[in-house]
Amino acid sequence: MEVMRIHLFVSGRVQGVFFRAHTQEVAHQLGLVGWVKNLDDGRVEIVAEGEGADLQRLIDWCRHGPPGARVDDVEIFYEEPTHEFKSFEIRYGKW
C-alpha cells in the first residue's frame, strides 16, 4: 500500500453545516488519517493521508459536502506523507 497525502482548502458555505463532522465520518469510513478544521476566512482546511483511491473519494465527497453545504471550490495540494497521524480528528482554534 502506497500512502499519499493531500492538503485541501474547501470554500463556499462550508462552515455551520457540520462539514467538519461529516468529513471526519467520511475519512473514518475510508480508513484515512489526518485532520479537518475551520479557517477564519470561512474555508475548511483538510489534511489527509491514505491510499490514493481513498483520498480521491474524499476529494470527490468534498466537491459537494454534506446537506446544507454549498461548495464553490476545492483547492488540492499533493504533499509528501509524514505518517504522523493515528486517526482523523477535528481541530479547533489555532494549530
How many residues are there in the chain? Answer: 95
Active site (annotated) includes residue 70: no
Which of these is catalytic: 20, 43, 57, 63? 20
Of the candidates 13, 38, 57, 63, the residue annotated as catalytic is 38
Active site residue 57: no
User: What is the rounded CA–CA span in Å between residue 1 and residue 95?
Assistant: 29
SS3 16: coil
User: What strands lie across the sheet with 70-79, from one edge to the other?
Assistant: 70-79, 3-13, 44-51, 33-38, 88-90
User: Residues with catalytic annotation?
Assistant: 20, 38
